[in-house]
Every structure is written in C-alpha cells, then in structure tokens.
Amino acid sequence: MTSPTPVPAPPTSTTPARCYRFGGPPLGNQRNYVRNPDGTLRLLPTPAGADYAEAAAINNRGDAVGHAWFPAERDMRAVYWPAAGGVQRLADLPDVNSWGGFAINDSGQVVGLGHTTATAADRQRALLWDTAAGTVIDLGTLPGMSGAQAAEVNNAGEVVGGSGRGFLWTPTEGMLDLTSLLDASGQGWQIHFAHGINNRGQIAATGLFNDVPLAVLLTPVPEPAALMLLPLAGFLLLRRRHIEGANKRDGNVPSRSRHLFLPP
C-alpha cells in the first residue's frame, strides 16, 4: 500500500496574541487572558451579571470572542473582548438569542451559535456579527434543515459550518451545500460539517465516502481545473459560481472553482 504524501509543517504563526484560560473547568474562579507578543498577559474581564466566561478565539488584532453564563437568564450568551479593552455582549435577534462566539476575523466579524426563543426540534441558528457596524444576521439553513451552526469565518467574510450537511456561506451567494457542489468525481461523498476556512479559501471539513468517515480539505483553484487522482486520496472538483467582490479585498483570485483533497 502506498503511503500518503506527508503534509508539510505550517509556517511559524504571526498571530500577535493568544487566548488562555486559568482556573480549571468553567467555574466562578475561572479567568481568561490574552498573551501579548511581549509575553505580558491581558485579563479578559467577566461581563457584569455573568458567573464565568470562556474565550474561544482571537484575531490578529487581539480581539477575542467566546461565551459567558448569565444565571439570571439561565443561559449562555456570546461575548466580545475588543483589543482596546472591556467586554461586550454580542447582540440578539428578535427571535434568536446569542449563545457563543466561535471565531473572529481581522475585520471584527464574528460567527457562532444562537438559539430560537420558541420551542422547536432544532433551535440552533448560525449567526454572523459585525462588531464594527454593530449588526447581526441569521445565515439561515440549507433546504430541508431546521437548524445551523457557524464554525469559522475568514477575512473575506466567507463562513463555514453545518446545517445537517456542511455549508459554505458567502456575502454574495448565501448558504451553499458543499455536497451538492461536487461533480461526478465526487459520487459517494457526503460532506457533513465544515470546521474551518482560511484566507486562501481552503476549507477543512469532515465527511463520509461510502459510509467511511474521512477528513476533507477543500482548496479553491483557478478555472479551468483538471481532475487528477492521488495515491489513497481523491481530487474532487466542485461546481460553483464565481466568487467576486469579497475575495478581491484580501488578494484572492476573484474567479475560481473549488476542489477537495481527501486524505486517506
């Protein structure tokens, strides 16, 4: 059996700060910190009225996001720690309460989870906050699904997550079903959840091939794209419309299709 091609180590991170949590599991004595590039620690304050908070992600500016438990509401709420200091609750929608912020890009866009205030079989909603504009939108669901969860956002404002199946949401195209974008070479594949997306548009996801769980790397390529097979892996082309506008802002190729590299 041929061994898979080794994946090269990523370059040294240039992220200027990292989030840390001290105090063990989520309890009242838990504290969250940002480690600055000079080694000093910046305390992330717990919001007023909250028993504890937990930081989940940080961007290159040092802004952090996460969630906090508010006993009076008996629920979690999404919170935002600006690099300049302080802490803010992220906004709710009229019929959707925020629950947690999972990722933040360098423009201050945050994605995460909310839940509907009405009783439903699936109350989860994928939310996108713009901390600069002070807005929040519900990204919706894939057809036939009642809930969704956003996992990551890149600097182009592209969001990935899951709504029964893995999705990609773009500012111009809305929510796209990753499985439905596969061409004939992807027969037998189901993309279940997209976990991350970088500034090159590469998407890390999980899926099934003939009921076998595998990790998936979705990489955008210029059109036209050729199909090829790798040892113990597939190279699957996705049909999709051109992505324009948002991708021009971070230097990505404005017109592109997408392919999947599927490790064994």
**pLDDT at residue number 185:** 64
User: H or E stretch including 145?
Assistant: none
Q: What's the average model confidence in pLDDT over 150-163? A: 98
pLDDT at res. 39: 86
Q: Taking the complete model, does pTM exceed 0.85, yes or no?
A: no
Name the pLDDT band for 5 (thresholds 50, 70, 90). very low
- CATH 2.120.10.30 in the chain is located at 15-138
- Which region, left, alpha or beta, applies to residue 104 given φ > 0 means left and ψ of -120 to 50 means alpha? beta
What integer is the mean pLDDT of 17-43? 68
Closest Cα partner for 16 from 2, 37, 35?
37
CATH H-level, domain 15-138: superfamily: TolB, C-terminal domain (2.120.10.30)
Taking only the tens place, the pLDDT of each residue in 56-100 is: 999 999 999 999 999 998 889 999 999 999 999 999 999 899 999
SS3 call for 1? coil
Task: Give the closest residue to 149 by CA, choosing from 119, 193, 104.
Answer: 193
| β-strand partners of 168 | 160, 176
